[in-house]
């Protein structure tokens, strides 16, 4: 009987540790990919500096051949930054695109919408995940007035949530564009564990 109890305890501990280990591994993979993104950004800057330097060389220079371009490593998904929401313990990669494959890595920018920081309505979607990683699972904890930070193109944009809605999946009015303001729309499934509706958070750029 003692052996059975011991095995039950061990089994229970393993069941508890599996999602924790999965979450840690997912976080490690995301951090690794983000480091690659930062390194790529630095490499692109170096390439631009080289291009500028070589463009300024006089046409009668002794350099008769055009310098070879440095190769920028390609990787998938396309990481474009990071999104952080302290009030909901969200710290995710921001990738370009919203396919299931993209959203398995983090939050995805809807390609047809403006980029973060630009005038218009920039939309970012994310999965709600019960097992590995948080993704947008805790997005429902965001309240009006909370800050949302988006890191993109070497710049940190800070938004403030001003509206929270629950809409049907085919309600595209939440993606309406603006001509004079930079806003952010976050999208995930609602309620948690279902896809019958969408949780929408609108935020305005404050800095």
CATH code of the domain covering residue 142:
2.40.260.10
- Neighbouring C-beta atoms of residue 1, cutoff 10 Å: 5
48-67 confidence digits (pLDDT tens): 443 443 333 334 433 233 33
Domain presence at residue 190: yes
Which pLDDT tens digit goes with each residue over 136-171?
Answer: 999 999 999 999 999 999 999 999 999 999 999 999
Cβ 152 vs Cβ 139: under 8 Å:
no
Let me know how long the chain is. Answer: 207
pLDDT at residue 164, as a whole number: 98
- Which pLDDT value is given to residue 46? 37
Burial of 173 (0-12, 13-18, 19+ CB in 10 A): exposed
- Would residue 54 count as lying in a domain? no
Domain range for 140 is 79-205
Count up the domains in the chain and report the number: 1
What would the pLDDT profile of 81-125 be if each residue is shown by its tens digit? 999 999 999 999 999 999 988 998 999 999 999 999 999 999 999
Whether 72 maps to a domain, the answer reads: no
For residue 83, CA distances in Å to 38, 46, 90, 119 come to 15, 25, 8, 18
Q: Annotated catalytic residue: which of 109, 130, 189, 197?
A: 189
Among residues 127, 130, 197, 202, the one annotated as catalytic is 127
Q: Is 109 a catalytic residue?
A: no
* Catalytic (active site) residue 130: no
């Amino acid at each position: 009987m003692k052996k059975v109890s011991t095995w039950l305890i061990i089994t229970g501990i393993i069941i508890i540790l599996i999602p924790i280990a999965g979450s840690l591994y997912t976080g490690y993979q995301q951090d690794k990919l983000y480091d690659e993104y930062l390194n790529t950004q630095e490499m692109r800057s170096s390439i631009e500096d080289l291009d500028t330097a070589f463009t300024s060389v006089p046409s009668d220079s002794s350099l008769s051949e055009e310098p070879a371009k440095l190769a920028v490593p390609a990787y998938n998904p396309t990481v474009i930054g990071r999104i952080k929401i302290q009030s909901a313990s969200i710290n995710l990669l921001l990738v370009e695109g919203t396919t299931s494959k993209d959203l398995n890595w983090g939050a995805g920018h809807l390609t047809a919408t403006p980029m973060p920081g630009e005038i218009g309505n920039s939309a970012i979607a994310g999965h709600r995940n019960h097992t590995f990683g948080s993704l947008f699972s805790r997005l429902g904890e965001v309240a009006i007035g909370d800050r949302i930070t988006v890191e993109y193109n070497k710049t940190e944009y800070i938004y403030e949530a001003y509206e929270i809605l629950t809409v049907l999946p085919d309600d595209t009015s939440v993606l309406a564009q603006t001509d004079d303001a930079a806003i952010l729309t976050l999208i995930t499934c609602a309620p948690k564990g279902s896809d019958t509706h969408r949780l929408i958070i609108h935020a305005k750029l404050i800095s």
